Amino acid sequence: KQEVTQIPAALSVPEGENLVLNCSFTDSAIYNLQWFRQDPGKGLTSLLLIQSSQREQTSGRLNASLDKSSGRSTLYIAASQPGDSATYLCAPALFSGGYNKLIFGAGTRLAVHP
Partner 1 sequence: NAGVTQTPKFRVLKTGQSMTLLCAQDMNHEYMYWYRQDPGMGLRLIHYSVGEGTTAKGEVPDGYNVSRLKKQNFLLGLESAAPSQTSVYFCASSYGMPEETQYFGPGTRLLVL
Cα 78 to Cα 101: distance, rounded to the nearest angstrom: 30
Sequence-distant (≥ 6) Cβ neighbours of residue 113 within 8 angstroms: 12, 13, 14, 15, 82
The site string for partner 1 over 48-77 (x = CB under 8 A, - otherwise) reads -x-x--------------------------
Q: Which is nearer to partner 1, 31 or 76 (CB)?
A: 31
Instruction: Give me the phi and psi of 82, to 5 degrees please.
Output: -55, -30
Taking the complex as a whole, the smallest distance from the CB of residue 18 to partner 1 amounts, in Å, to: 26
Amino acid at the residue 51: Q
List of residues contacting partner 1 (CB under 8 A)? 4, 31-32, 34, 36, 41-46, 49, 51, 89, 91, 93, 95, 97-107
